[in-house]
Structure 1
Amino acid sequence: MQLKDKNKKRLILIDLDGTTLKDDHLTINPITKSALQDAIKNGHTVCICTGRSLKDTLHIYNELELDSLLVTLDGGHISDPIHRNFKRIVLPISEEVTKGILKHPILKGKIENIIVEYYHTNMIQNGKDNFFIADANAEPPIQGDILNDWIGPCSNIIVKLNTNLNFFNIVDTLNNEFGDAVKVKSNLIYGIENIGEKPILIITNKFVNKGFAAEMVAQYYNKNIKDVIAFGDQMNDFEMIETVGHGIALTSGNPKLKEIAWGITDISNEDGGLGDTLNKLLK
């Protein structure tokens, strides 16, 4: 992998879990942290582009000493935490659609847990089973009865099922009935080949994806999308890696993502693959 113009100031988009963060979902390999901070000092712009919610991301944003736009919820929320010059973009799911999905007969008796997220808050049905983000440094979601306690729109719904029976029929049925409003995906997009005994549904606004977010952020910073560098590891990064000119997949990432990537890191996220590759590209 080589850049044609190493003097050009780039926009660098970084996924978090499995990419910037080590496998503990907590720490950044020193090679990666140093490379990102060096890139910023040299005039490049680094932006986080993650599936996490804002409150689960801000401590990492602050650790990296960023002051750029912040993309969370896979592009469902784009914000400007420091300067507040960028008008917040939120792509919501209405309360009616959210509760219509959760009350759908095909899910009756099959839901083990739910997380509902909006740009500034999130709620979990059973707080003892925080099944999606294993980051002890993140602020935990509040606990509540989603159907009764959650009021208003959300940007993301994560449903843990208690059975895998008729799983693909569940996904297809919800997409058929609510597909004008949302996309119903599964944990299979995160590189899990076996759906397991308790699969996960991931539901977003139908327009949400990291490719859309990449174009929005590039426009804001007046960067040609063909010059943008992006790092990701799983299939929620697919549109971002495909959209930018230099989409790089972690060697430890999803094989299908690596098939469409411009480049692949030599080493894993655990060993600092993002930082190692960025240093090679920019120096």
Structure 2
Amino acid sequence: MDKKLVFFDIDGTLLDYDKKVPLSTKEAIHELKANGHEVAIATGRPPFLFKELREELGIDSYVSLNGQYVVYKGNLVYSNPIPPEVLHSLNEYAVSLDQPIIYTSEENTKMNMTYHKRVEASYAPHKLPIPECDPDYYLGRHIYQAALFCTKEEETSYIVKFDDLLRLVRWDEVGVDVIPNGGSKAAGIEKFIQHLGYKREEVIAFGDNLNDLEMLQFVGHGVAMGNADSVVKEVARYVTKDVDQDGIMHGLRQLGLLSVDSAVV
């Protein structure tokens, strides 16, 4: 069997509803690597927020921060920070509207205000700690992604103001990822496969959320989880079972990358 490169999203894909890795997923990834395939993570999270997961699964390659920070076997191969002048303008505009914004580097994340109920509402389902306040965190360091907390209606003014500078990717009713214009998981994966010399048809990706759309369309074999949004399922080449129904193992079997007698059925 030809060697493949397989990317996995985290929330709703590698992690179930309790934010744990199903046993079947651990066994599937172990067998996948034993069969000689490359395994990597593709996520909107910064590296420090999934370090334990990488250690648990033995994965040291990833496309993080929605494609802005790409690492292969522990070595940085691509980074794409938001320009400082754009960050300054974004911060001033968000502050003028009294809207929370979180700035993320590869090593930490800070919020521009002490507390906001929208942040709590968005972070709680993912069981993530709410960042500490540091309104000047974006100054003098590389910021690869921001999280803006606004409604769809409020988002319109940001789209107009930063149209050719930033890209906004919504992930819930009040949460929006902000990345450099042209950035995406797909763009990060493209840099990754160029570095290794893979062809797109040799690349597989599993995902479930709106920020996975371009990734699933870009790779040769896009797989939507059974718990994915209907829009995500529509663009995927394949649809597997839910994350809590051994979806990863089932999907890899569908693709012929795992034996049908893998341990968990």
Which TM-score band applies after superposition, normalised by the shorter structure?
A: 0.7 to 0.9
Is residue 2:248 matched to residue 1:256?
A: no
CA distance in 2, matches of 1:119, 1:19: 22
Which among 115, 130, 139 is matched to residue 102 of structure 2?
115
Which among 19, 26, 30 is matched to residue 23 of structure 2?
30
Report the counterpart of residue 79 of structure 1 in structure 2. 71
Structure 1 residue 93 displacement after superposition: 1.2
Structure 2 length-normalised TM = 0.86
Report the counterpart of residue 191 of structure 2 in structure 1. 216
Is this contact kept in 2: 1:171–1:185, CA < 8 A?
Answer: no
Report the counterpart of residue 214 of structure 2 in structure 1. 239
Is this contact kept in 2: 1:118–1:155, CA < 8 A?
Answer: yes
Structure 1 residue 135 displacement after superposition: 5.5
CA distance in 2, matches of 1:173, 1:180: 13
Could you say what the CA RMSD is over the residues aligned between the two structures, in angstroms?
A: 2.3
Report the counterpart of residue 3 of structure 1 in structure 2. none
Offset from partner CA, 1:134-157 (integer Å, 9 cap, x none): 566x7x5751232x3432341111
Cα 1:272–1:120 shift into 2, 3 Å: same
Give the unaligned 5+ runs of structure 2.
Answer: 260-265
Structure 1 vs Structure 2: percent identity of aligned residues?
24
Is residue 2:253 matched to residue 1:279?
A: yes
Offset from partner CA, 1:177-233 (integer Å, 9 cap, x none): 22222112333xxxx5xx4xxx22321111211111222222223221112111000
Amino acid at match of 1:77: Y
Is this contact kept in 1: 2:170–2:210, CA < 8 A?
Answer: no
Structure 1 residue 259 displacement after superposition: 0.8
Structure 1 length-normalised TM = 0.80
Question: SS in structure 2 opposite 1:89?
Answer: strand
Is this contact kept in 2: 1:117–1:156, CA < 8 A?
Answer: yes
Moved more, 94-103 or 33-42: 94-103
Give the unaligned 5+ runs of structure 1.
Answer: 1-6
Question: SS in structure 2 opposite 1:20?
Answer: coil
What is the correspondence of 1:1-283 to structure 2 with a 5 Å cutoff? Answer: 7-25=1-19, 27-67=20-60, 69-80=61-72, 82=74, 84=75, 87-104=76-93, 108-111=96-99, 113-124=100-111, 125-126=113-114, 130=120, 131-132=122-123, 140=129, 143-146=132-135, 148-152=136-140, 153-161=142-150, 164=151, 167-168=152-153, 170-187=154-171, 192=172, 195=173, 199-265=174-240, 267-280=241-254, 281-282=256-257, 283=259
- Figure out how many residues of one structure are paired with residues of the other and give that number: 252
